[in-house]
Amino acid sequence: MMEELQMAKELAQQELWAQRRLYENNIKQLEEQLGEEEMNKKLLSTRKAAEELLVQLPALTQAQDTQQKCSMFLELLEQEKEKLAQEMELLQRRMPPKSRKGRLCPRRWTALQLSIMLQEVNVISKNLNKHTIFSRYDLPAMNGEPATVCTQVTNTKLGSTLCGI
């Protein structure tokens, strides 16, 4: 009877060990699945972040290109400004002293110069997406005075008009 009891005890222990190994294996498999799911979640979130960056990349690149073009344009304008200042200084040095004193106020623009300047200003306004149109306006002569030429500034968005001499 002791032997039967001993055999039953060993059989029970073997069965417990088998169940324990089975449970431990199941726990390991579940831990591996959990780890895989966490990796998948991380991978998915990383993929989403990468896709968002890819969507934003053209906009960022375009903004950077625009900024570079603007800075290049400003540099060119600055160079042109310096060049014009040098030319103006050179012309003033070449001008005889008598004519320098007699010319305190700026000369009047000719009709052609005014038209060209207004055309350039309108091109710049259009490129900057401003709702402003510059045009020439001839005021009629009154009481024997000569006709006066004005610059008319029209805001197309607001519908307002200003005149200046």
**Residue 103 pLDDT > 90, yes or no?**
no
- For the four alpha carbons of 72, 76, 77 and 81, in that order, the dihedral sign comes to positive
d(CA 130, CA 44): 45
**Residue 96 pLDDT > 70, yes or no?**
no
Question: Where in the chain are the domains?
Answer: 42-102, 109-165
Q: What's the Cα-to-Cα distance from 122 to each of 3, 52, 129, 154, rounded to whole Å?
A: 113, 40, 10, 11
The predicted-structure confidence for 129-149, as pLDDT tens digits, reads as follows 988 898 888 877 778 777 777
Residue 104 — very low, low, confident or very high, per pLDDT cuts 50/70/90? very low
Spell out where the chain has E strands. 132-139, 148-155, 160-164
The predicted-structure confidence for 105-138, as pLDDT tens digits, reads as follows 345 667 788 888 899 999 999 999 988 898 888 8
d(CA 123, CA 133): 9
pTM, two decimal places: 0.33
Mean pLDDT score, 66-77: 88
What pLDDT score does 165 carry?
A: 57
d(CA 165, CA 110): 13
Token reading at 46: 């990383």
